């Protein structure tokens, strides 16, 4: 019998991803830029196959899930409800490679959060766990943040975190900025924001912004060039390099 609607349509096979053995290249490109990972863009019957795909995994440096994981853990560490004291103590013991036999219950809780994994049946701290401890220990400061550019395909934004570096950019999730400010992606470049940041960290990829919001506008007089002059005593302090009012030369 002839097909009344023409030849039967068969979807052409899509090229496989060269980096993994579970997905197509198109699926991995989409999953790497989404917190849903590849898993979130597949039908239910294929999710078992793509679950944990390294191209979009939270454990893979640079993916959207990886950036979101660092943000989530930092917010957990700096919020009002961090890990219980005994659970955090167990995490620090794992990080120090100490015996944690007596912390079995706490290790189980840390494993569920993916702060601890296992290597040869021994608990080992994960990158998420290390991020949590760093966020607990590092001081955080409110700092201006300038948006340099956005990449709507990669769903990221490149920003200058003034309190960390005036020259080296930091990459953050575009969705974090749009949801925090209410601005569209195309409205962000050139805008100044404020955020809390771990300004003492060494590497750009370890800078995590929280409490992002639009910077308050400058006074209208300043925008017009009418910046107030410093007081005379402040001017003198600037010239001598001293701010305590004591004379130079070390005299009290």
Interval 150-189: pLDDT, tens: 999 999 999 999 999 999 999 999 999 999 999 999 999 9
pLDDT digits 0-9 by tens, 114-156: 999 999 889 999 999 999 999 999 999 999 999 999 999 999 9
- pLDDT digits 0-9 by tens, 80-115: 899 999 999 999 999 999 999 999 999 999 999 999
Mean pLDDT of 230-251: 45
* Residue 45 confidence (pLDDT): 82
- pLDDT tens digits, 189-228: 999 999 999 999 999 999 999 999 999 886 666 555 565 6
Residues 6+ apart with CB under 8 A from 235: 229
Q: How would you class 252 by CB atoms within 10 Å of its CB: exposed for 0-12, middle for 13-18, buried for 19 or more?
A: exposed
Q: Domains in the chain, please, with CATH?
A: 19-57 (no CATH), 65-137 (1.10.10), 141-214 (2.40.50.140)
d(CA 98, CA 90): 9
Per-residue model confidence (pLDDT) at position 190: 96
pLDDT grade for 229, boundaries at 50, 70 and 90: low
Q: What is d(CA 26, CA 226) in angstroms, rounded to the nearest whole number?
A: 54
Confidence band, pLDDT 50/70/90 cuts, at residue 247: very low
CA 115 to chain CA mean position, Å: 16
For 183-201, give the DSSP string: --GGG-TT-EEEEEE-TT-
Among residues 27, 76, 14, which one has the least CA distance to residue 54?
27
pLDDT tens for 20-69 read 989 999 999 999 999 999 989 988 888 888 888 999 999 999 999 999 99
Q: Tell me whether strands 192-197 and 209-214 are parallel, antiparallel or unpaired.
A: antiparallel
173's tokens: 């999730």
**What is the percent of the chain where pLDDT is above 70?**
81
The pLDDT value recorded for residue 21 is 85
Q: Which residue has the higher pLDDT, 245 or 14?
A: 14
* Phi-psi domain of 121 (left: phi exceeds 0; alpha: psi -120 through 50; beta: other): left
**Do 68 and 37 form a contact (C-beta atoms < 8 A)?**
no
CA atoms within 13 A on the CB side of 43: 2
pLDDT at 241 over 60: no
């Amino acid at each position: 019998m002839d097909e009344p609607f023409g030849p039967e349509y068969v979807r052409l096979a899509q090229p496989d991803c060269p980096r993994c053995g579970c997905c197509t290249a198109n699926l991995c490109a989409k999953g790497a830029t989404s917190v849903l990972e590849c898993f979130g863009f597949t039908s239910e019957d294929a999710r078992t196959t793509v679950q944990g795909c390294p191209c979009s995994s939270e454990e893979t440096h640079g993916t959207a899930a990886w950036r979101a994981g660092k943000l989530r853990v930092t917010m957990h560490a700096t919020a009002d409800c961090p890990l219980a004291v005994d659970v955090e103590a167990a995490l620090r013991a794992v990080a120090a490679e100490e015996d944690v036999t007596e912390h079995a219950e706490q290790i189980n809780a840390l494993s569920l959060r993916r702060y601890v994994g296992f290597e040869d049946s021994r608990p080992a701290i994960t990158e998420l766990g290390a991020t949590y401890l760093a966020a607990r220990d590092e001081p955080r400061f409110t700092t201006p943040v300038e948006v340099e550019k956005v990449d709507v395909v990669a769903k990221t934004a490149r920003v200058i975190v003034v309190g960390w570096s005036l020259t080296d950019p930091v990459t953050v999730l575009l969705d974090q900025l749009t949801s925090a400010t209410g601005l569209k992606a195309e409205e962000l470049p050139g805008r100044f924001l404020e955020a809390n940041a771990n300004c003492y960290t060494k590497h750009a990829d370890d800078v995590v912004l929280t409490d992002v919001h639009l910077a308050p506008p400058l006074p209208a007089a300043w925008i017009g060039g009418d910046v107030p002059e410093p007081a005379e005593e402040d001017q003198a302090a600037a010239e001598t390099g001293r701010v305590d009012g004591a004379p130079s030369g070390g005299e009290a």
